[in-house]
Amino acid sequence: MFPRSFQIGPVHIAPATVLAPMAGVTDTVFRRFIRNLGGCGLIMTEFTSSHGVSASIRAKKPTRTIERYLAFEPEEHPITAQLFGADPGVMAEAARVCEGLGFDVVDINFGCPVNKVVKCNGGSGVLRDLPLVDRLLSSVRAAIQIPLTMKFRAGWSDAELVAVKMAQLAERNGLQAVALHPRTREQGYAGKADWSRIAEVKAAVKIPVIGNGDILTPEDALRMVDETGCDAVMIGRAASSNPWIFRQIAEYLETGSYREASHENRFEMMRTYYEMLIDQGENDTTGKMKQFATYFTHGVRGGASLRRDIYHAHEAGQILDIVNGFFAEDIAPQLVTV
Q: Which residues are catalytic?
A: 112
Cβ–Cβ under 8 Å, residues 211 and 234: yes
E-strand stretches of 85-192: 105-110, 148-153, 177-181
End-to-end CA distance of the chain: give it in Å, rounded. 43
CA 165 to chain centre: 24
Q: Exposed e or buried b for every residue in 142-175, given b needs 16+ CB within 10 A?
A: ebbebbbbbbbbbbbeeeebbbbebbebbbebeb
Query: What is the SS3 assignment for 178?
Result: strand
Cβ–Cβ under 8 Å, residues 100 and 56: no
Q: Is the peptide bond before 15 cis (omega within 30 degrees of 0)?
A: yes
The torsion region of residue 256 among left (phi > 0), alpha (psi -120 to 50) and beta comes to left
